Amino acid sequence: MSIAASRPVPLPAAGPVVEHLRDLGAALVEAERHARALERWGDELAERLPRGHRLLVAGNGGSAAEAQHLTAELVGRYRDERPAFSAIALNAETSSVTAIGNDYGFEEVFARQVRAHARPGDVVLLLSTSGASANLLRAVEAAREAGAETWALTGPAPNPLAGACDEAICLDGASAHVQECQLAAIHAVCSVFDQRILARAEPAPAETRRIRPALRRAGEPLLHAASAGRAAVRREPR
């Protein structure tokens, strides 16, 4: 080993980048206290979506990007191969958003879409760093009228959106760190969701043990017949 390679790498001097990363690390550590709630959301989606229910997601600005990220993971896939599931990012419907905003006002851009798409048993998830966006609060009202479950993923509590929804996870930190933690939270939910879906698709070990002997017994006569046929062929004179 060279002398240069054995020298410890000095820590960078404190600056904007290091400060940002340290604050983000602290926010992620704080977010761990929501682990059980995030796991419960993943479990709940794994129960509802395979039964034909739908996830509707909405947010503004950076939270809109997170909403699209989540629905892409469910319609596409997060990590492992599995069926596609119904999930719509309402903020991504640009023609609907602009038409509704023009005709009914910006506060209605999500609520009217919820009225169109939400059914009893669906989940409406609303993302916000402030928890005070009027268009998201109107979406909660529309979801309640439709009989859908409402979840909020927000910045620090208390805030109006968290108080209005059936369930809320409130992440502590500055707005930028809340958005970064939102992505981590979304991936955590997707990880649980995929795990539950794939576990149900695999046969139980006891079931596998019951099937395999039956397959061997059913195949035995065919194997004997095939062996006899090969022997008969070998005995034929050339």
**Residue with tokens 């020298």, as numbered in its chain:** 7
pLDDT surpasses 50 at 230: no
Task: Indicate whether 208 pLDDT > 50.
Answer: no
Determine if the pTM surpasses 0.95: no
Q: Which residues, 6 or more positions from 9, have their beta carbon under 8 angstroms from its beta carbon?
A: none
Mean pLDDT, residues 126-153:
99
pLDDT at 142 over 50: yes
Give the tens place of pLDDT for each residue, 60-116: 999 999 999 999 999 999 999 999 999 999 999 999 999 999 999 999 999 999 999
138 and 235 within one domain: no
Give the end-to-end CA distance of the chain in Å, rounded to a whole number: 71
> What is the mean pLDDT of the segment spanning 149-159?
98
**Residue-wise DSSP of 150-210:** EEEEESSSS-HHHHHSSEEEE--S-HHHHHHHHHHHHHHHHHHHHHHHHHHHSPPHHHHHH
Alpha carbon 150 to chain centroid, angstroms? 15
* Cis? peptide before 158, omega within 30° of 0: yes
Shared-domain flag, residues 137 and 51: yes
pLDDT at 206: 57
Taking only the tens place, the pLDDT of each residue in 33-45 is: 999 999 999 999 9
| Average pLDDT of the chain, as a whole number | 87
Does residue 10 fall inside a structural domain?
Answer: no
Q: How many domains does the chain have?
A: 2
Instruction: Please give the residue range of the domain that contains residue 212.
Output: 203-238
Question: Domain containing 187 — which CATH number?
Answer: 3.40.50.10490
